[in-house]
Amino acid sequence: MKVEVETEINRKVEWLKKEQSPDGAWRFYVESGPLSDAYMIILLRSLQIDDEERIRLLAERIARLQEKNGAWKLFHDEAEGHLSATIEAYYALLYAGYKRKDDELMQRAKQFILSKGGLSEASLYTKVLLALTGQYPWPSPMPVPVEALLLPQQFPFHFFDFVGYARVHFAPILVCADRKLVIKTARTPDLSDLYADSSEGNRISDQAELRANEFYRSLLSMIVQGIKHLPFSPWQIHSAALHRAEQFILQRTEPDGTLYSYFTSTFLMIFAWIALGHAKSHPVITRAIRGLENLTCRTNAGIHVQNFTSTVWDTALLSHALQEAGVSPSSPTIQKAGLYLLSRQHQKYGDWRIRNPRVPPGGWGFSDINTINPDIDDTTAALRAIRRFAQNDREHNHAYLASWNRGMNWLLSMQNDNGGWPAFEKNTDKSILDWVPIKGLEEVSTDLSTADLTGRTLEFLGNDAGFTFSHRAVDKGIRWLLRNQEEDGSWDGRWGVSYIYGTWAAITGLTATGVPSRLPAIERAVKWLLSIQNADGGWGESCRSDIEQKYVPLGASTPSQSAWALDALLAVYKRPTAAIDRGMRFLMETSQRDDWTTRYPTGAGLPGGFYFHYHSYRHIWPLLALSRYKKTSINVPQR
């Protein structure tokens, strides 16, 4: 086994070295369902941009992903299919012009949509798409009027109660809804036959639900009263609100033209810009479209528009993984990666400053096009990768040490008051947001402490920064984790799938900071992990876990989830066990497998709505697990 492990590590290391870009980064893709491809087609057709080759290739990928029953899925084991994904894909294929309603699979898609309740049961984001293109009525009133952008932060409810990634989607939606924007062309398909009940009453059921919601009426009344107290006429207030929305969007537009570096928010921004009266040829729109085009990648199913790039994340994680595998920091591979990460540390203040005003920038963002929205996970990943440079930083005039200090300062300042860590912004936990009656809003409106962010931050602070449980921030983080363990011994992860992800992060974080492995909480977590190991030695969890809010087995093993479980067990046992050996055998025997299990999405975006297959994950996490395993039994000189 020892020889086999070393052979597999060497193979992975040499392959990854060859995959590195000249600038030191690794550029793997982030793949998701049909949403971004479908929206890109609909955007280009709506703006009458004749990029026919791109439209054709995107349509081909969408068509390849269709199931035999006519539906589209977000993940392999999703029962039957996903309603909103099917609506979006069906719409895009018709608008592209490469499918007809009377095609057999399109007829099956229609029947699936109708069987699930039709357009009226789609997600909020899908309904916005449909409203923008004349397929669904804009609600009146909107749950939150555009004037809410003017409410001061001292008000019980204000726009900045929502977390940043929610705000950059809501702002353009509020503009479009306020202006009741509809863009239809001669090629726009007619989806009126996709209502399960064609009566108008069914079509506005969303509005009836809003009016019947007592809490919502109270919230809306509060917002209206707050607006009335502004010292301007209603017309002036409304005009000022639209101007505020426009400035809000502009201030968060990245140099490449995208809004916050996300496809989904940029798509909405383009329509909002038109709603504000700008021409389709306006530079903001043309830059945004180029930014979206640059998100295109090639997958097994064809070309795909990513929702974002993962370049900083992948580069930081891979540099760290290679160093853990024995690649010397003095090697050109690690040197180039370090310089790339140094160049990507944020210098600008972002919205995180609102609740953390006295700390200078120092974090890292997820994407190479992200300059204003740093996050906790990317910051700890980048700091891990440059740690050895910061410890011995004479060659670069202490640039790495300064970078390390700024990053550490920012990271520690972002801890929530309850002891955990969020992803992007601290203390975004106002319960009043629960009053807004939008389905699924609770998953995206706030940025709460999570087991994965808290555990991974503790793991970094313990293993790389030398902190222990005696440090106040670490002690608070440990206490938060112990308070939020599930009854079965697991922890729920927010940004990965799901309980395996959270449990791995919690165990490695606790043990790294000096918590003894005999602690009952850790023993229960280990027992849970061992109880869900598959017969082939690996681990696998379904995306349905974060929908049902309980662990749901996948029925197969995936590389990343197996590596997470193994890394957690090795952090506790410090030496191989029979279960660990079986898991390692699985990782090595399947390291070059290419099937649905290696492409299964293990990154989480929106429960029940958005999942990601990181092409890098099958390389990063198994390499880290193999390297930790090697260190438990053999010592190999640095390469």
> What local confidence, expressed as pLDDT, does residue 637 receive?
40
DSSP conformation class of 598: T
The answer on 17 and 153 residing in a single domain is no
Q: Which range is most confident: 212-221, 440-449, 505-514?
A: 505-514
> Contact, 161 vs 433, CB < 8 A?
yes
Cβ atoms within 10 Å, residue 199: 9
Return the ∠ at Cα 584 (arms to 578 and 588), rounded to 5°. 145
pLDDT reading at 118 higher than 90? yes
The kind and range of the H/E element at 405 are helix 399-413
Burial degree of 550 (CB within 10 A; 0-12, 13-18, 19+): middle
pLDDT at 435 over 70: no
Three-class SS of 32-88: CCCHHHHHHHHHHHHCCCCCHHHHHHHHHHHHHCCCCCCCCCCCCCCCCCCHHHHHH
Residue 436 lies in a domain: no
Q: Indicate if the pLDDT at residue 302 is higher than 80.
A: yes
pLDDT band at residue 437 under the 50/70/90 scheme: low
What's the confidence (pLDDT) of residue 635? 45
Q: What is the mean pLDDT of residues 58-68?
A: 97
Which of the four pLDDT bands, split at 50, 70 and 90, describes residue 452?
very high
Q: What is the mean pLDDT of residues 126-144?
A: 88
Tell me, what's the pLDDT at 233? 75
Average pLDDT over residues 359-376: 97
- How many CB atoms within 10 Å of residue 516? 10
Instruction: Spell out the residues 6+ positions from residue 410 whose beta carbon is closer than 8 angstroms to its own.
Output: 359, 360, 361, 362, 363, 374, 379
pLDDT band with cut points at 50, 70 and 90 for residue 345: very high
- By the 10 Å C-beta count (0-12 exposed, 13-18 middle, 19+ buried), 287 is classed as middle
Q: Which pLDDT value is given to residue 155?
A: 75
Considering the chain, what percentage of its residues have pLDDT values greater than 70?
Answer: 90
Share of the chain above pLDDT 90, in %: 82
3-class SS letters over 93-157: HHHHCCCCCCCHHHHHHHHHHHHCCEHHHCCHHHHHHHHHCCCCCCCCCCCCCHHHHHCCCCCCC
> Based on the domain organization, do 124 and 142 belong to the same domain?
yes
pLDDT band at 575, cuts 50/70/90? confident
pLDDT of residue 187: 97
Residue type, 323: Q
Rounded to 10°, the helix 2-19/311-324 angle is 140
d(C-alpha 96, C-alpha 434), whole Å? 38
Asked whether residue 575 is domain-assigned, the answer is yes
Confidence band for 205, pLDDT divided at 50, 70 and 90: very low
pLDDT computed for residue 197 by the predictor: 77
Residue 211: the pLDDT is 42
Q: How confident is the model over 260-295, as pLDDT tens digits?
A: 999 999 999 999 999 999 999 999 999 999 999 999
- Residue 435's contacts (CB-CB under 8 Å, 6 or more residues apart) are 215, 216, 218, 219
454 CB neighbour count, 10 Å cutoff:
29
Question: Is residue 138's pLDDT more than 70?
Answer: yes
Q: Does 16 lie in the same domain as 38?
A: no
Q: Kindly state whether residue 517 falls inside one of the protein's structural domains.
A: yes
Q: Three-state DSSP class for 305? A: strand
Token duo for residue 553: 């087995």
Structure token pair of residue 7: 């052979």
The whole-angstrom separation of Cα 520 and Cα 534 is 24
Mean local confidence (pLDDT), 624-630? 96
> How are beta strands 603-606 and 302-305 bridged, if at all?
unpaired
Would you place residue 442 in the very low, low, confident or very high pLDDT band (cuts 50, 70, 90)?
low
d(CA 164, CA 574): 40
- Distance CA(337)–CA(594), nearest Å, equals 28
Q: Looking at residue 575, what DSSP letter applies?
A: S
Find the range with the poorest average confidence among 153-162, 268-277, 380-389. 153-162
Does residue 441 lie within any of the structural domains?
Answer: no
Say if residue 457 is in the same domain as residue 553.
yes
Number of domains in the chain: 3
> Mean pLDDT over residues 297-325, rounded?
96
* Same domain assignment for residues 604 and 470: yes
Residue where one domain finishes, among candidates 305, 328, 356: 305
Query: For residues 309 and 75, what is the distance between their CA atoms, to the nearest angstrom?
Result: 20
- What is the Cα–Cα distance from 614 to 592, expressed in whole angstroms? 16
Give the pLDDT confidence score for residue 318 in this predicted structure: 98
Range of the domain at 542: 450-639
Give the whole-angstrom CA distance, residue 602 versus residue 545.
Answer: 11
What pLDDT does residue 489 have? 98
List, for residues 6-54, the tens digit of each pLDDT value: 999 999 999 999 999 999 999 999 999 999 999 999 999 999 999 999 9
Instruction: Report, as residue numbers or ranges, the catalytic residues.
Output: 377
Q: Is the pTM of this model over 0.85?
A: yes
The one-letter amino acid at 497: V
Interatomic CA distance for residues 122 and 127, integer angstroms = 6
Residues 96 and 236 in one domain: yes
Of 137 and 433, more confident:
137
3-state DSSP assignment of residue 454 = helix
Burial class (CB in 10 A: 0-12, 13-18, 19+), 229: exposed
Comparing 430 with 462, the larger pLDDT belongs to: 462
More confident residue, 638 or 348: 348
Tell me whether residue 423 is in a domain: no
CB neighbours (10 Å) of residue 277?
10
Same domain, 78 and 191: yes
CATH number of the domain at 209, please. 1.50.10.20
Domain match, 285 and 355 both: no
Q: What is the mean pLDDT of residues 606-616?
A: 94
Rg (CA), the chain: 25
> Do residues 545 and 552 lie in contact, with contact meaning Cβ atoms separated by under 8 Å?
yes
Q: Give yes or no for residue 402 having a pLDDT over 60.
A: yes
Check whether residue 635 and residue 572 sit in a common domain: yes
Dihedral (CA of 48, 306, 410, 345) sign: negative
* Ramachandran sector of residue 574 (left: φ over 0; alpha: ψ -120 to 50; beta: rest): left
Last residue of a domain, one of 305, 325, 352: 305
Are 216 and 333 part of one and the same domain? no
The CA distances from residue 216 to 128, 142, 164, 167, 623, in Å, are: 20, 11, 22, 19, 50
Beta-carbon count within 10 A of 357 CB:
8
pLDDT-derived band at 445 (thresholds 50, 70, 90) equals confident
Residue 422 lies in a domain: no
Any domain includes 606: yes
Report the alpha-carbon distance of residue 602 to residue 513 in Å, rounded. Answer: 26
Q: Is the pLDDT of residue 92 over 90?
A: yes
Considering the domain architecture, whether residues 364 and 345 belong to the same structural domain is answered as yes
Mean pLDDT of 100-112: 97
Q: Is the pLDDT of residue 212 over 50?
A: no
Given 276, 305, 334, which residue is the final one in a domain?
305
Cα gap 456→46, rounded to integer Å = 43
Task: pLDDT band for 162, please (50, 70, 90 cuts).
Answer: confident
Q: Which residue has the tokens 């990666």?
A: 337
**pLDDT confidence of residue 621:** 98
- The model's confidence at residue 636, banded by pLDDT at 50, 70 and 90, is very low
Distance, in Å, from the CA atom of 514 to the CA atom of 458, rounded to the nearest integer, reads 10
Q: Kindly state whether residues 238 and 361 are assigned to the same domain.
A: no
Pull the structure tokens for residue 35: 């949403």
Q: Which of 236-240, 537-541, 545-549 has the lowest mean pLDDT?
A: 236-240
Mean pLDDT of the chain: 92
**Amino acid at residue number 104:** E
Per-residue pLDDT reduced to its tens digit, 173-195 = 999 999 999 999 999 999 999 99
- Does 425 map to a domain? no
Characterize the bridge pairing of strands 296-299 and 302-305.
antiparallel
Confidence class for position 209, pLDDT limits 50, 70, 90:
very low
Tell me the backbone φ, ψ of residue 375, rounded to 5 degrees. Answer: -140, 165
Q: How confident is the model at residue 431 (pLDDT cuts 50, 70, 90)?
A: low
